[in-house]
Structure 1
Amino acid sequence: MKNVSVLGGRHELTVEGFATTTEHMELHYRLTPPLPQSEPDEENKAGNHEPYVFLAVEALDDVGNEYLDSGGAFGLSPDGSSTEGSLSVQPGPYADARSVTLHLILFDGTHEETHAFTFPLEAAAG
């Protein structure tokens, strides 16, 4: 697991895991404290306007192949202490690739930041 301070130090990002299939690659993460659950420009339960955070991912492997963001899912952890989620890129890893770098992009409406994480790829993948 890797931990990184994000969003101006307001949250801690924990990379929980990375998985590959022949169809896609998936990053599993946790953000603590949880992200605001309201949509952009909606008031949250506390009655104030916390910035809604958008997440996206881009990827590039060690031989120059690019991978496209194919979406993800997130939600409040069972204990309510964090946001848990996953983001995917397509296609799955190419046979000649040995590592992939995922660029996780976080945008809160005014500030954008990118964090890179490199993962090894197994020779059998693809």
Structure 2
Amino acid sequence: MGDKIIMAGADWCGFTKKAKKEIEAKNLQDKFTVLDCDGDDKDNKYCKGVTGFPMFKTEDNELCYSGYGPLDKVMTKCKVKEEEQAPAPSSLMTMSQVVDKMGTFEDRLGQLEAQFRERDD
């Protein structure tokens, strides 16, 4: 998944204008690509299937937020898909790596029991 969120909007739309101003005010132009789907960009692949403005899509052309909303909310929603994907195989830990990092279940259970005993004393 890419780093940009595509905003499919229309220059005449008040909510598109509002979102565009917010993008500029918060200096987020590097995070968003803004399209005029009722103007010069109407043939752009990201404008296909857009039924209202603005609509926010991933670079994979998947809808991630529909309508106007605070940009932090849009950015959170549009990154959800990225977090839901399974991690790349190289980032998976082996069981021995997990044990090295966290200890065994018995080790952790012993630590917790000791903490509870200290608290109860």
Q: TM-score, normalised by structure 1?
A: 0.25
Q: TM-score, normalised by structure 2?
A: 0.26
Q: Which has the higher strand share?
A: 1
Q: Which has more radius of gyration? A: 2
